[in-house]
Copies of this chain bind each other. A is one copy, B any other.
Amino acid sequence: MNSEQIMDELDLIARYFAPLAADGAFSLQDDAACYSCPPDKQLIVTHDALTENVHFLPTTEPADIAAKLFAVNLSDLAAKAAEPAACLLTFAPHKTVSPDWVAAFATETGRQLKQWDIALLGGDTIAMPQGSFFALTLWGLVAPNTMVRRAGAQMGDDVYVSGTIGKGWLGLRDAKQDIKQDVKENVKQNIKQNAPQNIKTKKTIYQCHYERPEPRLALGLALRPYIHAATDISDGLLADLTHICTASALGMTIQLEAIPFADKALELRDFLITGGDDYELIFTAPPQNRASIEACATKTDSAISRIGQVIAGKEVVFLDAQGQQIKQQGQSPKYKGWQHFDN
Instruction: Using CB atoms, name the residue of chain B closest to A86.
Output: B45
CA distance A90 to B149 in the complex (A): 22
- Residues from chain B with a CB closer than 8 A to the CB of A126 are 49, 51, 54, 340
Supposing A3-B338, A133-B92 touch, asked if A343 and B25 sit within 8 A by C-beta, the answer is yes
Partner of A45, one of B29, B33, B90, B147: B33
B231 lies within 8 A of A17 (CB):
no
- Complex contacts, A137 vs chain B, CB 8 Å: 45, 47, 88, 137
Which B residues are in CB contact (< 8 Å) with A82? 32
Interface of A is mostly: mixed
A11 to B239, CA, bound (A): 14
The answer to the question of A232 belonging to the interface, with a C-beta cut-off of 8 Å to chain B, is yes
A185 within 8 Å of B by Cβ? Answer: no
Pair B341/A76 contact, Cβ less than 8 Å? no
Out of B4, B36, B42, B131, which one reaches A42, CB within 8 Å? B36
Chain A residues near B (Cβ < 8 Å): 1, 3-4, 7, 10-11, 13-14, 17-18, 25-26, 28-37, 39, 42-49, 51, 53-54, 76-77, 79-80, 82, 88, 90, 92, 121-131, 133, 135, 137, 139-140, 142, 144, 147, 149-151, 172, 176, 231-232, 243, 246-247, 333-334, 336, 338-343
16 contacts between A and B (CB under 8 A): A1-B53, A3-B339, A25-B343, A26-B247, A31-B231, A31-B342, A33-B46, A35-B139, A37-B42, A45-B137, A47-B90, A49-B92, A88-B137, A92-B133, A121-B343, A129-B131
